[in-house]
Amino acid sequence: MTTCHIIDIKGGVTMPSQTFLNLDSSKRNKLLEAAMNEFKTVRYTEVSVNRIIQNANISRGSFYTYFTDKDDLFGYILELNKKKVFALTKEVFLSCRGDIKNSFFKLFDVFTKEIVEHDFSRFLKNIFLYFNIYKEKFDRPGHALFLYVKDAISTEEIKASDLEFIFHLFMHNLLIGITEAVKSNNISSIREQYRRKVNILCYGIYKEDKRC
């Protein structure tokens, strides 16, 4: 699995040229692997198309028949990762029988493990720092993910009418937790802080006799 970014693209999906899509799968994968290695290694502003094409063993002319520029390539990689994140998120909710608290506990562990094991911290930073490149393409970030997993979320103990709002609160907290984990040398400590935040979201800040 590659790393993630949860996106809802307005006006269609970022796509390469048909020439790229018609390539043999091994050639496509080699270019995408070279690009992913570049995006996860250096700052976005330092990403080099020359290094990508050298590692992919293609010509500069071929690259520009596949993608307009590195922004176009980055957008396509984000889209590929979005699909993987969607599938994994739904899989986690199903495995937790729709329990929102346990699902987000597990999502934190799953995503931080993937990021650390595959050294995707720089890629994640590039997404967050240079997201403004794509802001005109995004509308209601996370809405598409919610729609994708909605049927797998249990509403036995939460208000169904507030389900999307609740989902976004938990997702926002998850993204903050993952970002903190990536920056920290003590993921176990961040994990405990994250779990405390989730418990507060679930049970509130008031003592039981003060709850309305």
* pTM, rounded to two decimals: 0.78
Q: What is the pLDDT of residues 77-91, one digit of tens each?
A: 888 888 888 999 999
Quick check: 105 pLDDT over 90? Answer: yes
Quick check: 3 pLDDT over 50? Answer: no
Q: Residue 10: its pLDDT value, please?
A: 34
Q: Residue 96: its pLDDT value, please?
A: 97
194: Cβ contacts below 8 Å, ≥ 6 apart: 108, 173, 174, 177, 180, 181
Residues 40 and 119: their CA atoms lie apart, in Å, by: 7
Average confidence (pLDDT) over 141-165? 90
CA dihedral 113, 151, 142, 76 (to 10 degrees): 70
Determine contact, residues 111/178, Cβ cutoff 8 Å: yes
Strand, coil or helix: 9 = strand
CATH of range 18-210; options 1.10.10.10, 3.40.50.1000, 1.10.357.10, 1.20.810.10: 1.10.357.10
Closest CA to 105 of 120, 93, 119, 90: 93
Residue spans of the domains in the chain: they are 18-210
Most confidently predicted of 16-30, 118-132, 138-152 = 16-30
Quick check: 14 pLDDT over 80? Answer: no
Average confidence (pLDDT) over 141-145? 81
